[in-house]
């Protein structure tokens, strides 16, 4: 498999970067697209009568179509915002206008908090109720039946992740969506951790909203959210009066970051050119050694699935008798970058009863076998 490390100038020499789930290094073409946009003179605003303004419209339209291609979705339903969290808040605020007492929302404890708190707050404002579905802490899996069992005739929305940013589990979002639809509910999928690690087909999932963030897949910091056209037409967003009255723009809250849109378009093109199947199979090969190596260590506990089926190449672990923060600091001293804590998957860590969380290591397309050797050797020496 081709070594692509030369495509990531931020990698440099020295550090082994297992911090990808918190934010990846940026691919050369995305760096170039961002800066060449800013050099181009086209940095203007949308819907204007002169060439630079038209270039802004063309950029947004091209990025929508690239994102549509990446996600298997209609690009016309794509909004660009500063982050997935910001996009989800914008959308749930609009959804909340139509929620009231008796309405139910189903969230899960395997999710990142950006797909839980916005719903809790919408429920608190409207009198709706949130049901939080447990995952199986032994296997690290979220059975479709557990979500289905929480559905009632009052369920309006189901909010579920495509992949856990802590333990890698990929719930069967297509099956969960089918169950939700059968109960008359709509579905929001958090695709932030799924998108960099699998080929996504939003049409096949069948959900109503799907979000991803380009800084998790070699691009700049931005949130990209697809909305089903029917939902988009129905939503009445909180927005300023002169802003567009239809389309995804009205959920964007102000002028988008055109330079980020230029960069994310290039990063999405990188994923498409490399091919998501090829990226996933590379990552899986590298990840298998890391998972097996850590699982074999008697003083290490790996949370979540111990196999490579339906999972992202991301794991969380603890070394016996050592606080995760101390482990992360010891690894940093060896120039190995990992996170510790809950990475905002706070319900998940609470489910494990781990107040100080765990150490997280994630594989991306630029992690190589030597990085795995270094991490395994360093953990074994702790
Ligand atoms: C699974 C998952 N969902 C949502 C988010 C939030 O993304 P953003 O920082 O773009 O709001 C993250 C960020 O870590 C994540 O990993």
Selection from 229, 240, 199, 243 nearest residue 217 by Cα:
199
CA 24 to ligand 1 centroid distance, Å: 12
- The token pair that represents 153 in the structure block: 């005739």
**What is the Cα–Cα distance from 214 to 106, expressed in whole angstroms?**
26
| CA distance linking residue 39 with residue 209, whole number of Å | 34
Q: Under DSSP, is residue 29 helix (H, G, I), strand (E, B) or coil?
A: helix
The predicted structure's pLDDT at residue 1: 67
Is residue 347 domain-shared with residue 304, that is, in the same domain? Answer: yes
275 C-alpha to ligand 1 centroid (Å): 23
Ligand 1 atom with minimal separation from the 82 CA: 10
Which ligand 1 atom is the nearest neighbour of the CA of 86?
A: 11
Q: What are phi and psi of 242, to 5 degrees?
A: -75, -15
The CATH code of the domain that includes 77 is: 3.40.640.10
At 318, give phi and psi (nearest 5°).
-130, 145
Number of C-alpha atoms within 13 angstroms, CB side, residue 332?
A: 12
- Torsion of the alpha carbons at 196, 200, 206 and 207, rounded to the nearest 10: 10
- Considering only the C-alpha atoms of the chain, give the largest distance between any 2 of them, rounded to a whole number of Å: 67
Atom of ligand 1 nearest to the CA of 222: 10
Overall size of the chain counted in residues: 382
- Please give all residues whose beta carbon lies within 6 A of any atom in ligand 1, as ranges: 83-85, 112, 114, 161, 165, 190, 192-193, 213, 223
358-362 and 78-81: which strand pairing?
Answer: unpaired
| Nearest ligand 1 atom, CA 87 | 11
Q: Are residues 9 and 41 in the same domain?
A: no
Place of tokens 């189901």: 158
Among candidate residues 218, 251, 272, the one where a domain is terminated? 272
Together in a domain, 37 and 148: yes
Instruction: Report pTM.
Output: 0.98
Last residue of a domain, one of 229, 247, 272: 272
Tokens representing 265 are: 């378009």
259 shares its domain with 305: no
Q: Are 123 and 268 part of one and the same domain?
A: yes
Pocket test for ligand 1, best of 22, 107, 112 (most atoms within 8 A of CB): 112
Chosen domain end from 272, 290, 312: 272
Distance of CA 22 from the midpoint of ligand 1 (Å) = 8
Q: What is the CATH number of the domain that holds 323?
A: 3.90.1150.10
In angstroms, what is the span from residue 321 Cα to ligand 1's centroid?
Answer: 30
- Let me know whether 297 and 252 are in one domain: no
Closest atom of ligand 1 to 213 CA is 10
Mutate which of 162, 165, 197 for ligand 1 pocket (most atoms within 8 A of beta carbon): 165
Q: How much is the pLDDT for 12?
A: 85
Instruction: Kindly provide the residue ranges of all beta strands, DSSP E only, lying in the chain, ordered along the sequence.
Output: 16-17, 78-81, 104-108, 129-133, 155-161, 186-190, 209-213, 223-227, 300-303, 314-319, 336-337, 339-341, 358-362
| H or E stretch covering 282 | helix 276-296
Residues of the chain whose pLDDT is less than 50? none
Is the domain of 50 the same as that of 154? Answer: yes
Whose alpha carbon is nearest atom 12 of ligand 1? 192
Distance 104 CA to ligand 1 centre (A): 24
Tell me: do 183 and 297 sit in the same domain: no
Let me know whether 297 and 323 are in one domain. yes
Mean pLDDT of the chain: 97
Question: Listing from the earlier edge strand, what are the strands of the sheet with 358-362?
Answer: 300-303, 314-319, 358-362, 339-341
Tell which residue, 255, 267, 163, 162, has the closest CA to residue 221: 267
Cα of 111 vs centre of ligand 1, distance in Å, is 10
Question: What DSSP assignment string belongs to 76-101?
Answer: GGEEEES-HHHHHHHHHHHHHTT--T
Shared domain for 55 and 186, answered yes or no, is yes
41 Cα–ligand 1 center, Å: 32
Element (H, E) at 181: helix 173-182
User: Are 279 and 219 in a shared domain?
Assistant: no
Instruction: Report the C-alpha gap between 365 and 197 in whole angstroms.
Output: 9
57: number of Cβ within 10 Å:
14
Residue 348: domain span: 5-26+275-380
* Same domain for 204 and 311: no
Residue 118 CA to ligand 1 centre (angstroms) = 13
In the block, which residue shows the tokens 């500063």?
Answer: 82
- CA–CA gap between residue 215 and residue 267 (Å, rounded): 9
How many independent structural domains does the chain possess?
Answer: 2
């Amino acid at each position: 498999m081709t070594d692509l490390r030369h495509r990531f100038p931020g990698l440099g020499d020295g550090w082994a970067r297992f911090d990808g789930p918190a934010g990846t290094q940026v691919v050369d073409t995305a760096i170039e697209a961002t800066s060449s946009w800013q050099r181009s003179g086209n940095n203007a605003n949308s819907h204007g009568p002169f060439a630079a303004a038209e270039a802004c419209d063309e950029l947004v339209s091209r990025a929508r179509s690239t994102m549509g291609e990446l996600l298997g979705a209609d690009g016309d339903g794509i909004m660009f915002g500063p982050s997935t969290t910001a996009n989800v808040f914008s959308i749930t605020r609009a959804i909340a206008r139509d929620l009231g007492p008796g309405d139910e929302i189903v969230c899960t404890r395997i999710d990142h908090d950006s797909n839980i708190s916005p719903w809790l707050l919408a429920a608190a404002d409207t009198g709706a109720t949130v049901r939080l579905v447990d995952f199986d802490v032994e296997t690290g899996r979220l059975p479709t039946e557990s979500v289905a069992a929480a559905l009632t005739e009052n369920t309006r929305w189901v909010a579920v992740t495509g992949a856990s940013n802590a333990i890698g589990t990929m719930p069967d979002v297509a099956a969960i969506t089918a169950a939700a639809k059968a109960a008359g509910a709509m579905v929001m999928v958090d695709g932030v951790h799924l998108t960099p690690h699998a080929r996504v087909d939003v049409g096949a999932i069948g959900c109503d909203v799907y979000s991803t963030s380009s800084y998790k897949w070699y691009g700049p910091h931005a949130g990209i959210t697809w909305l089903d056209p029917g939902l988009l037409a129905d939503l009445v967003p909180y927005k300023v009066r002169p802003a567009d009255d239809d389309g995804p723009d009205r959920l964007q809250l102000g002028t988008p970051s055109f330079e980020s849109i230029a960069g994310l378009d290039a990063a999405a093109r990188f994923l498409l050119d490399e091919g998501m199947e090829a990226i996933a199979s590379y990552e899986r090969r590298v990840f298998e050694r890391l998972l097996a190596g850590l699982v074999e260590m008697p003083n290490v506990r790996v949370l979540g699935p111990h196999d490579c089926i339906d999972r992202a190449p991301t794991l969380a672990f603890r070394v016996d008798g050592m606080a995760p923060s101390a482990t992360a600091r010891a690894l940093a001293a060896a120039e190995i970058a990992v996170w510790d804590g809950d990475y905002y998957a706070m319900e998940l860590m609470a489910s494990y009863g781990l107040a100080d969380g765990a150490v997280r290591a994630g594989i991306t397309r630029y992690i190589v076998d030597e990085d795995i050797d270094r991490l395994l050797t360093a953990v074994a020496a702790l």
